[in-house]
Structure 1
Amino acid sequence: MDKESKSHKEKPLIGITMGDINGIGPEVIIKALENSRITQHMTPIIYGSTKVLSFYRKQLNLDNFNFSPLNDISKPYHRKVNVVNCWEEQVEINPGQDNAIGGKYALKSLEAATNDLKGGHISALVTAPINKLNIQSDTFKFAGHTEYLAEKAGQSESLMFMISDTMRVGVLTGHIPLKDVPAAITKEALVKKLKMMTKSLKQDFGITKPKIAVLGLNPHAGEEGLLGSEEKEIIRPAIDEFKSKGQIVMGPYPADGFFGAGDHSKFDAILAMYHDQGLIPFKSLTFSTGVNFTAGLPFVRTSPDHGTAYAIAGKNQADEGSMRTAIFAALDIVKCRKENKED
């Protein structure tokens, strides 16, 4: 094998699902991959349809974007953007419309990519936004990508981990109604998520001695029981368990003051108690550069931190920053896992 062929073989294959074809997924994928220099670092493989990509390339006047259909996953074109056609039929594309077609073909893309990911044919998966309602079907009864991929990995749980260059925020309870959050906060659940977070910080980000902050559930972290007992009875005992083993886990902190004072910058990661408690400050501080990473799985999956954005779909207004960051985050995590495995 010559030096150039060896170089290509060692280049990670990054799979990218198309998401809802009526949302901004195709647009941000095209814009993120439009610069051909990206293929110097990885080999992108889009799961979706060349017809859909051609439609948006023309619609958005993005003529610099080129791709090659890929018929054999074992023989990718390493200097090009590859596209796996997950369907052959002509599909009606209506940018900005929330309909069953968008959900049906988003699922086809996701299923094909997940099969290749589980089979070891691609190094990582980056998922473009789906509509969590219109994708529901007999084969997809999940709250989102995170839960679907955990089930496909044969695991009951994973960790929704929002990451950027300046902060990392995980959530104890993900896509569940707010009224169900208190009952889901148990010491067992906290210990499990903190273990996932600690392992991820070490193997995926190369942090040998992670510093983790844990937020409280109630206003002012319960005010020593005045505003709620979860901090005293559940959260603090879980933190103490990690401290007793020499790990740097601090808290529980009142969420408002914690982010308001900039204390998040003092830690490698923060564990929030519920979805919006963690994602509102994260997106406020890192929007367009933040990434959703599913930690705790045997494979690497990232996604941009935005949704389908139907209101601007097909109008050439979508910012591809988060998608590009998600692609490079997947690449970085793949490399970090490989280095830590070799060590």
Structure 2
Amino acid sequence: MEPNGVIESNWTEMVEQFDQMNLRDPLLRGIYGYGFEQPSAIQQRAIKPCISGRDIIAQAQSGTGKTATFAISILQRIDLDLKECQALILAPTRELAQQTQKVVLALGDYMNVTCHVCVGGTDVNDGIKRLEQGVQIVVGTPGRVFDMINRRALRIKHIKMLVLDEADEMLSQGFKEQIYDIFTTMPESIQVVLLSATMPREILDVTTKFMNDPIKILVKKEEVTLEGIQQFYVNVEREDCKFDTLCDLYERFTIVQAVIFCNTRRKVNWLTQQMRSRDFTVSQIHGDMESKERELLMKQFRSGSSRVLIATDLLARGIDVHQVSLVINYDLPSDREKYIHRIGRSGRFGRKGVAVNFITNEDRSTLRDIEQFYNTQVEEMPMDIQI
């Protein structure tokens, strides 16, 4: 462990193609059907040891293909004839849990697997009924999952793999106690897979307490950020020039699908109203909305019936939208760690993307800080760029 919260990899073995991983045929069909052609860096390193049952700590950001890494491993490991929970995935937010379920079901499309989402804000009795019928994979938030274990609705006897996705986020949101409680109920032989963008002290406590001789895999920030993503800035000088700049961009480019990030919910509301008043078709999404409303919006956006989404950072973690070619940071993120989650959306798994940052005079030092932190260069946007 290095002092700056970065783990040191102790695993170098790589498998370069999915068809060299000895995966079930229906699973391979699901992988190719999902649109994957080649494994990402983390998939090349982590899937094989994960399938073999080793405990794994992977330091990887959103956009690296980490969800598919553990989803593929779970789908390879479970007994398809046993209609009991065999893998439990914990996630920090309802949205990430639902997105993970979609990935699991899409990859397992030819396997007839069952995967249930277990999150707050949903009907408890419906959840109990579904769990009692028997599901093979459960993905959920720690509070509701622990509640279901306590009610004996979620049976733990056959669980062989426990995945903690975005562990840093879960611990920072105060889920530590529930996570520890869940661990104490698990079978002793449980395999633990932990994924996290950062490695704070609390995560190391979890790893020493509950993991057995874990393999450590680091996917560096540079691998995540730069691949396939062109990063630009537009000098707007003052805050009140941003809106006109955005309208100019719209006139210059044919925007197939884009996400526009603002730092506050109020700004999201304001910008949505402004855009609509100029007859632009846009949707908005933020944390004040009911979860059903957010789900519907994401569904419309994924299907392409909604093309431009104005969002807060709620969307910047774990929402996988394949066809997004453009991300606009209307506001530069206040926290440099969030930058990667926002623009990682636009070039996932080598898909090309463009990120445009609106920069006021006050933002210049923040942009320099981001460039240094990610060891990258954000160029001024040329007039003749193709999006």
Q: Same fold (TM over 0.5)?
A: no
Give the TM-score taking structure 2 as reference length: 0.25
Question: What TM-score does the superposition give when structure 1 sets the normalisation length?
Answer: 0.27
Choose between structure 1 and 2 for higher RCO, CA contacts under 8 A separated by at least 6 residues.
Answer: 1
